Structure 1
Amino acid sequence: MIIYVDQREKKPYNFPAMETETALLNYGDYAVKGLGYWDVNPNTGQEEFYPEFAVERKSLNDLARSVGTDRKRFEDEIERAQQADNFAVVIESTMTDAYKGRYYSKIHPNAVVGTVKKWPYKYGTLQFKWAEDREGGKQETLRLLDKWYIQAATDLF
């Protein structure tokens, strides 16, 4: 399994035991090479990879901004990801920290947590995973990609 890391990812995870390559992903920050397709994005004219499944990494600050001031951009990405079999947002924090407002944004904690709880019902392939910290986020990302990779390989037979 070779992991694609989106070339726009500012703080990519290091997976020492895994081979990684950078690619321009249409949605998500991490995907598996070969499980998806390449196509030209009609909005940008660039060739992008459209993965069968992907993981989006978010710090708690990123999440608060993404459901607050950057909500439209984030929802647009989630909309694009609805063509995938699975799309997860791995949050490098705890729900307790979100409830306590331990982020820089002025968005109310109930809005952050409420969005995390509500959007999986609105967007069928979306799931949020609280991962406690960056290391937990890396482990959860690898676990999800590995699980979906095995499921995809099993579906071939």
Structure 2
Amino acid sequence: MIILIDSREKENSHILNYMAVNKISVKRKQALKFGDYSFIDHNTDYRNLIVIERKNSLDELALNLTSGKKDNPVNRRERFKNEFKRAKEVGAKMVLLIENATQEDIKEHNYRSKLHPNAFIGSLNSWYNKGYIDNIFFCQDKNDAGWAMLKIFHNFLKELTK
């Protein structure tokens, strides 16, 4: 298995370290149409079948779930949603991986954004119900993100062979 990392992905040394320690090949600076991570296995490229969108915190995710400042023409929420829509349009599975957080952290509003916990969960549930997100994983310890990615990709392959 070779892990593909989108060219826009930043600050992922903990994932690169995990892959190196576990002798997993990585191709950085890949142009993924959506998502941050995908993979190649036995010369089959899965980047249009499954991707992982990684967020390093609830703060980063909340930023992507809000529209932005009223005086700023860039609507972060729409841009973020469009990435998920592009994946859905080609039938790719989109997995959201949230580091340094648990679902309880959303409930307890353990993040800096003013986004209310009900709106936070409501947005995630809405996107899941619309088929934009196929699964959501929380990694309380960001150092588990590499392990989680491998498990997600291995389970995907296992389901394909059933």
Question: Quick one: structure 1 residues 77 and 124, their matched pair in 2 at CA, closer, same or farther if it must change by over 3 Å?
Answer: closer
Spell out the pairing of 1:75-154 with structure 2 (5 A cutoff).
75-82=81-88, 83-92=90-99, 93-123=101-131, 126-152=134-160, 154=161
Q: What secondary structure does 2:5 align onto?
A: strand
Aligned to 2:73: none
* CA separation of 1:31 and 1:63: change in aligned 2, threshold 3 A: same
Q: Residues 106 and 125 from structure 1, CA distance in 2 versus in 1: closer, same or farther, beyond 3 angstroms?
A: closer
The answer to whether the aligner puts 1:67 opposite 2:97 as a matched pair is: no
The residue number in structure 2 matching 1:57 is 54
- The Cα offsets for residues 53-76 of structure 1, whole Å up to 9 and x where unpaired, read as 101111211111111132111100
Which letter maps to 1:90?
A: L
Q: 2:54, 2:4 → 1: CA distance?
A: 13
Q: CA RMSD in A?
A: 1.8
Structure 2: any 5+ residue segments left out of the alignment?
Answer: 68-75
Contact 1:78 1:126 in 2 (8 A): no
Structure 1 counterpart of 2:45, one-letter code: L
Equivalent residue, structure 2, for 1:35: 45
User: TM-score normalized by structure 2?
Assistant: 0.78
Q: Name the CA distance, whole Å, in 2 between partners of 1:106 and 1:124.
A: 24
TM-score by length of 1: 0.80
Contact 2:84 2:132 survives alignment (8 Å): no
Q: CA deviation at 1:7?
A: 1.2
Identity of aligned residues (%): 29
- CA drift of 1:124 comes to 5.7
Alignment-mate amino acid for residue 56 of structure 1: E
The answer for the alignment partner of 2:70 in structure 1 is none
The number of residues matched between the two structures is 141
- Quickly say closer, same or farther: Cα 1:125–1:117, change in 2 above 3 A: closer
Q: Secondary structure at the match of 2:144?
A: helix
